[in-house]
Structure 1
Amino acid sequence: MAAARPAPTDSLSFCLAQLTAAAGEGLGGGKDTATNETPLGRALLALRTRHVKAAGGIERFRARGGLRPLLALLRRAATADPAPPQASPGSAPSAISAGPASPSGSAPSASSSTSSLPARLRKTLDLGLSILANCCTEGACRTEVRRLGGILPLVTILQCVKTDSIQNRTARALGNLAMEPESCRDIHSAGAVPLLLESLTACQDSQCLQSVVRALRNLADSPQHRLALAQQGAVRPLAELLAAAPDPALTSALVRALLELSRGCSRACAEQLSLGGGLGPLVSLASHPKRAVREATILTLANLCAQGLVRPALGNAGGVEVLLGELRRRRGPNGANPASQQPLVRAVCLLCEAINRARLRDAGGLELLMGLLRDSRARAWHPRVVAALVGFLYDTGALGGLQALGLPFLAGQLCGGGGEKKKRGEEKPASWDFPEERTPRGGQRLFLTLCRSWLISEGYAAGPGDISPDWSPERCPPLEPSEPSSPTPGPTQLQTPRVVCTPRRSSATSTEEPWGREGPALLLLSRFSQVPDPSGALVTGPALCGLLAYVTGAPGPPNPRALRILARLTCNPACLEAFVRSYGAALLRAWLVLGVAPDDWPAPCARPALRSQHRELGEMLLQNLTVQAESPFGVGALTHLLLSGSPEDRVACALTLPFICRKPSLWRRLLLDQGGLRLLLAALTRPAPHPLFLFFAADSLSCLQGLLSPTVSPVLPPAIPVDLDLPSPCLYESLLGPAPVPAPDLHFLLDSGLRLPAQRATSATASPFFRALLAGSFVEAQMDLVPLRGLSPSAAWPVLHHLHGCRGCGAALGPVPSLGQPLLGSEAEEALEAAGRFLLPGLEEELEEAVGRIHLGPQGGPESVGEVFRLGRPRLAAHCARWTLGPGQCPRKRALALVGLVEAAGEEAGPLTEALLAVVMGAEA
């Protein structure tokens, strides 16, 4: 059987030739239909179904120059009736051209358009537009179509031909072209958006509507284009279509289009979506079984929250619960990555206003927001979350919940990491609580500036940008100080200026409090500090650290509100016990007065020098606590803590008392008579209850020593270099020369074989040991060469000098190692052991003085204190304690020395406790 003869349309060249001929001759140019139309129709059909759809077919079609005649054919079709008559409101459109867009509700029906359009022209347009739409799926074809000016003919066809199939294929071609930014700009400039909107309202075919919706979505490729679409009314018909419950495919297309149009949601977009009834359907679609629809819907709702005018309606429709539920799901163990949570976090924060606050609180939103503050991965969102929590400033129920959830996280935001930065020129989300901003008249500007300062200080606005410049002066409340100043007088630099502004004084000036990123957190903390008992939430280690870190670390003057918070807490009697239990008073003194922060211990951090304002602030706050502690209530509270509190509370009370008690009768009774001091000393060798516990303890013991003996300074080693100290005459030196006078009658033999000369009578009177050895009934009394076992030459040298009456000749310094060398196992320890073995207490004292002179002198450091203490000598232990608690000692060195003492004492705390107790109580003893 012979093979079937190939049809002419199987050849791309034949099809292109027919297309070129038709484009040149025109439509209806006098050719007979039987000889002209049929070959063109077959060629177009073959191009669409065979050549273009084949692998690489679009590229071949473009390379062979098929786009130019195709666009020429469409251009001729679009201008077949160059001057269509103006259609009257009741007349039907012409065969090829439908007049200008008719108002909504009076657009020509699809049936009338189809019946009035010639079949030949409709078929040619259908096939040609289908081929062009398929070709525009390739980037090179889109560029070529734009270069050949193919966008305007498509817009003309969209305007003139109201057939559903042609509108569908034209919208599809425009949607494909809009995938290129340049083509998208040209389509907007050609005026295609109103025509697409007309098709959206007039067409009933689902496929056509999907193509139009997709074209509108692709045209929303930039903020400028999205705003232009919203201003031309593109959002409302989409919302109305969504509310009409279309088929699933159209629903998916509508949701995707609304998501794109709502990015950076403008006021016009929010208004149209709300007026079109789209909020309810969107909330319902948030539970759609199809994931793509569900996620697009939720993100659209999140975008809409940027406009305050739509947030109340969104809350009424159930949007608050939807967004909270989705954010909770994404933050779960199986949730998405943190980046996908950002739009939802922003939306939930924006919903913390007006009527939605109660909904958000009842739906568990506060727990979710506080969870974000605890999450280090969400650090970039923390400033936004804290600003959102300001919305609950006067919600009593919410405040109680926030206190229960923990306020230290708020205090930690005062010096937190970088949050979201607002781009220059970005549209600020409007708020339902504030009207739109308009430029005020010149006479109102000064007073409105004062009103703006009051609104910011009271937390009604997060910043100057949140306040309308044309706020009505008649409705503005009278300005009062935002918070009362502390009743305790403080330093001049820390006085909070009293700002009172009234409408009558137009020339008044005001001092605005700085409102930086820490403003919302400070406002919330200030609100919490005004409750009757804020101790459980604010007088804690993390909360106090956050406040103090901000006060001392602010690059400029700190916000006065932070100073007022600290003053208010220290003046509140209900906070006294909390300050004691949390070591808050010790922390205030260490951080503000001494300049040592928790992260500055034990290794110092590079930070600016302590400013005098910090010291004055710390002294003022401690004075406030002193007033509370010495009141009848405070005395009872401290006595109860010390006698009946838990072991941790008793230690904290004993440590804090020297800082906040100045009445001798009170601290003597609690610390000395009732055992508070011994309790503190016994706790030194136990696990530290606070990272700065040993620093606090060293400072507390030093302060207590100053209270016990304010005018007497402990005796310290001479503050002169060792090499400048003039020694006493040496009496043993005369026995060492070549002609000793008197001649030695005895030699001591060391283990090394060294013989040291000595006088028997002089040596026998030095100690009971040598008296029994050299003048008693032992055999050594008859020997001229007496062995001394277990003694090295360096250790024996000070012993021989001491036996012959040398006192202070410098021999005791010989076995003492230099500064920085270990003492344990050294010749100094051996000499001390020998002095005790030979019953030479004077030598022991001289050797201990030599050790202290070298290792605990002016050149000695805190690391030497533990080394000296390890020798286990009571006098040296007391010497170490005096060095540690000396009144002129640097606080950091004092604390480091105490750390060394505790490490050296180990589990044997008795010697250390007795040494410190003796030094502290030395004046009374």
Structure 2
Amino acid sequence: MPHPPRDSPVRSDIQEEKRENSLIGWVLHILSLLSQPAHIHEHMLNIATTQVLVRYLIKCPNPLPRAGRILIRLSKNIYSTMSFINQRHMSWLTRTIEDRPTVIEKNQGCKSCENLELLRDILVQNISVFAESGYCEGQMCLSLMRGTKQEKQNVAISAAILIRRRKLLRNVLITHDGLEVLLDVCESIRNDPALFSDAVLSCSNLGAHVGVVAMDLLLDPKEDTNCFHDNEHNDHPKDLTLSLDDGSEIQIHRETIANASPVFGAMFTGGFMESGQSKIKIPFLTHPCLTIVLHHLYGCVWCDAFKGLQVSVLMELVSVSDQFLLPDLNQTICHEITTRCLNVKQVVEIYQTSLQREYLVHGSKESLSKCAVNYLIVGEMSHFKRVQLWEELMKSKAKSDFVDDVGKTIRSKLLELH
């Protein structure tokens, strides 16, 4: 008897039947039956069961859809909810799906990735419905008051991911100190890396939900790399010398700089004594900082002179741009600083330096340190990268300041009236 064509429906049905009758197919059939009673056995609700099903869906090239249906069925049972909360099913699932190589390398057009992300969203939505019920609210609050340390940690992490209603979040995280438990986990990185990773994920999800906005969402990165400084500088006579504290000097064209900056314009052409001098002392500025200011005044947005600047120069430019009334330069530099928070080697220096004074950020209601904290909470980056950055801060002397700032940021948003 001839075999049916490879792409024929008959052949597909035969292959599907073989898969259903395979050992894995029978195991999934048994698990499916065990997931149907109203009161499900505790072994079915153990995180190990979830991990096996999810890893099967991730690693198998063409998994049986029954595995996903089992998880969805479990998520629709109210008696399963506290088991999911107490064992942190959703934080593990979210981390596992995001850290999967296909998600990182093929973020678009991967059907398997789309199916997994859809499954995660369905599970979170289903569990959230029951997590916000009066029964689960009471159980979570009771665990936070009288539970063991581990129970408190698991509830705090899961509540921050699953609960959406702000009033309920305030009750669990503020009234019953769930947020403090969550922040304590962040400070205890060395005890349990997986627990720390879940806590970082919860803080990020919670921050995004309550309205924390990263600076990179407010400001567009500057893409103009043209340099106008050299052309303009060479086309006009250098009739003024700026002298710095370190003895270095920079020659400029007086009129060009005066027209570009109201502060320099008042200094060079107003009634000040500097207006008639050929050399003017510019105190408290370093040579690299003044160089960037002049590039900006000549019309440069982000030319080669801006690239590779040390953190100390960038922080100086934040203050100088505010002092000289240069809001565009201030925004550009602040955007660069917050973006550099992605650099594990620089994040601690940036955050510690931003704490030393109140650096103002034009176009934002927040100081630079708050913008950096917001970026580290909800800025666009992978979970793996966020954990790396938080780990670096937790190992530094700024650990307590950072955790306190994260807590203040999230708490203030939670307490806002809507």
The question of a shared fold, defined as TM-score above 0.5 by the shorter chain, is answered with yes
Name the SS for the 1:683 alignment partner: helix
Does residue 738 (structure 1) correspond to residue 245 (structure 2)? The answer is: no
Q: Counterparts of 2:191 and 2:39 in 1: how far apart (Å)? A: 28
CA contact (8 A) 1:823 1:867 kept: no
Q: 1:828/1:714 Cα in 2 relative to 1: closer, same or farther (>3 Å)?
A: closer
Does residue 544 (structure 1) correspond to residue 47 (structure 2)? The answer is: no
Displacement of 1:674 in angstroms is 3.7
Does residue 880 (structure 1) correspond to residue 349 (structure 2)? The answer is: no
1:570: which partner in 2? 75
Identify the match of residue 41 of structure 2 among 499, 523, 534: 534
One-letter amino acid of the counterpart of residue 371, structure 2 = H
| 1:76-120: CA deviation from partner (whole Å, max 9, x where unpaired) | xxxxxxxxxxxxxxxxxxxxxxxxxxxxxxxxxxxxxxxxxxxxx
Displacement of 1:546 in angstroms is 1.2
CA contact (8 A) 2:213 2:378 kept: no
Displacement of 1:622 in angstroms is 2.3
1:748: which partner in 2? 243
Q: Counterparts of 1:589 and 1:813 in 2: how far apart (Å)? A: 37
CA contact (8 A) 1:870 1:904 kept: no
Does residue 556 (structure 1) correspond to residue 58 (structure 2)? The answer is: no
- Considering only aligned residues, what root-mean-square deviation do their CA atoms show, in Å? 5.1
Displacement of 1:903 in angstroms is 0.9
Q: 1:850/1:647 Cα in 2 relative to 1: closer, same or farther (>3 Å)?
A: farther
| 1:781-801: CA deviation from partner (whole Å, max 9, x where unpaired) | xxx886958x642134357x6
CA contact (8 A) 2:85 2:155 kept: yes
Displacement of 1:575 in angstroms is 3.5
One-letter amino acid of the counterpart of residue 388, structure 2 = V
CA contact (8 A) 2:103 2:113 kept: no
One-letter amino acid of the counterpart of residue 135, structure 2 = F
1:795: which partner in 2? 289
Displacement of 1:912 in angstroms is 2.5
Does residue 649 (structure 1) correspond to residue 138 (structure 2)? The answer is: no
Displacement of 1:636 in angstroms is 1.2
Q: Counterparts of 1:608 and 1:851 in 2: how far apart (Å)? A: 37
Does residue 851 (structure 1) correspond to residue 333 (structure 2)? The answer is: yes
Displacement of 1:656 in angstroms is 1.7
| 1:585-635: CA deviation from partner (whole Å, max 9, x where unpaired) | 2233444xxx325x6599869996534433333233223322321222211
Q: Counterparts of 2:324 and 2:46 in 1: how far apart (Å)? A: 53
One-letter amino acid of the counterpart of residue 863, structure 1 = L
Q: Counterparts of 2:217 and 2:21 in 1: how far apart (Å)? A: 53
Does residue 912 (structure 1) correspond to residue 402 (structure 2)? The answer is: yes
Q: Counterparts of 1:842 and 1:787 in 2: how far apart (Å)? A: 12
Does residue 828 (structure 1) correspond to residue 332 (structure 2)? The answer is: no
Identify the match of residue 622 of structure 1 among 118, 121, 124: 124
| 1:199-239: CA deviation from partner (whole Å, max 9, x where unpaired) | xxxxxxxxxxxxxxxxxxxxxxxxxxxxxxxxxxxxxxxxx
Displacement of 1:570 in angstroms is 2.6
CA contact (8 A) 1:855 1:868 kept: no
**1:227-376 maps to which residues of 2 (within 5 A)?**
none
2:343: which partner in 1? 864
Q: 1:626/1:726 Cα in 2 relative to 1: closer, same or farther (>3 Å)?
A: farther
2:90: which partner in 1? 585
Q: Counterparts of 1:648 and 1:914 in 2: how far apart (Å)? A: 22
One-letter amino acid of the counterpart of residue 238, structure 2 = P
One-letter amino acid of the counterpart of residue 52, structure 2 = G
One-letter amino acid of the counterpart of residue 700, structure 1 = S
Q: Whose radius of gyration is greater, 1 or 2? A: 1
One-letter amino acid of the counterpart of residue 849, structure 1 = Q
Aligned length: 364
1:316: which partner in 2? none
Q: Counterparts of 1:679 and 1:590 in 2: how far apart (Å)? A: 20
CA contact (8 A) 2:160 2:202 kept: yes
Q: 1:671/1:788 Cα in 2 relative to 1: closer, same or farther (>3 Å)?
A: same
Q: Counterparts of 1:542 and 1:715 in 2: how far apart (Å)? A: 38
CA contact (8 A) 1:629 1:660 kept: yes
Q: 1:637/1:844 Cα in 2 relative to 1: closer, same or farther (>3 Å)?
A: farther
Q: Counterparts of 1:523 and 1:532 in 2: how far apart (Å)? A: 18
**1:396-415 maps to which residues of 2 (within 5 A)?**
none
**1:585-604 maps to which residues of 2 (within 5 A)?**
585-591=90-96, 595-597=97-99, 600=101
Residues 666-675 or 807-816, more deviating: 807-816
Q: Counterparts of 1:646 and 1:682 in 2: how far apart (Å)? A: 14
Identify the match of residue 112 of structure 2 among 587, 597, 610: 610
Name the SS for the 2:61 alignment partner: coil
Identify the match of residue 637 of structure 1 among 133, 139, 152: 139
Unaligned 5+ runs, structure 2: 1-15, 356-366
Task: Give me the TM-score of the superposition, normalised by structure 1.
Answer: 0.33
1:660: which partner in 2? 162
Which has a greater percent of helix?
2
**1:41-190 maps to which residues of 2 (within 5 A)?**
none
Q: 1:618/1:688 Cα in 2 relative to 1: closer, same or farther (>3 Å)?
A: farther
CA contact (8 A) 1:748 1:786 kept: yes
Displacement of 1:879 in angstroms is 2.8
Task: Give me the TM-score of the superposition, normalised by structure 2.
Answer: 0.64
Name the SS for the 2:334 alignment partner: helix
Q: 1:751/1:710 Cα in 2 relative to 1: closer, same or farther (>3 Å)?
A: closer
| 1:243-273: CA deviation from partner (whole Å, max 9, x where unpaired) | xxxxxxxxxxxxxxxxxxxxxxxxxxxxxxx
Displacement of 1:532 in angstroms is 4.3
Q: Counterparts of 1:812 and 1:720 in 2: how far apart (Å)? A: 7
Unaligned 5+ runs, structure 1: 1-509, 776-783
CA contact (8 A) 1:682 1:909 kept: no
Displacement of 1:558 in angstroms is 1.2
Identify the match of residue 516 of structure 1 among 13, 22, 30: 22
One-letter amino acid of the counterpart of residue 288, structure 2 = S
Displacement of 1:514 in angstroms is 0.6
Q: 1:722/1:620 Cα in 2 relative to 1: closer, same or farther (>3 Å)?
A: same
Name the SS for the 1:596 alignment partner: helix
1:244: which partner in 2? none
1:235: which partner in 2? none
Q: 1:807/1:907 Cα in 2 relative to 1: closer, same or farther (>3 Å)?
A: same
Q: 1:886/1:722 Cα in 2 relative to 1: closer, same or farther (>3 Å)?
A: farther
Name the SS for the 2:22 alignment partner: coil
| 1:449-478: CA deviation from partner (whole Å, max 9, x where unpaired) | xxxxxxxxxxxxxxxxxxxxxxxxxxxxxx
One-letter amino acid of the counterpart of residue 879, structure 1 = C
CA contact (8 A) 1:622 1:660 kept: yes
Q: Counterparts of 2:87 and 2:330 in 1: how far apart (Å)? A: 41
Structure number with higher relative contact order (C-alpha < 8 Å, ≥ 6 residues apart): 2
Q: Counterparts of 1:548 and 1:793 in 2: how far apart (Å)? A: 57
Q: Counterparts of 1:700 and 1:750 in 2: how far apart (Å)? A: 49
Name the SS for the 2:331 alignment partner: helix
Displacement of 1:637 in angstroms is 1.2
Identify the match of residue 388 of structure 2 among 886, 890, 899: 899
CA contact (8 A) 2:81 2:130 kept: yes
CA contact (8 A) 2:296 2:329 kept: no
Displacement of 1:722 in angstroms is 4.0
| 1:847-898: CA deviation from partner (whole Å, max 9, x where unpaired) | 76333334656xx7x73376255223153443334444558x36x2x55135
One-letter amino acid of the counterpart of residue 828, structure 1 = L
CA contact (8 A) 1:717 1:852 kept: no
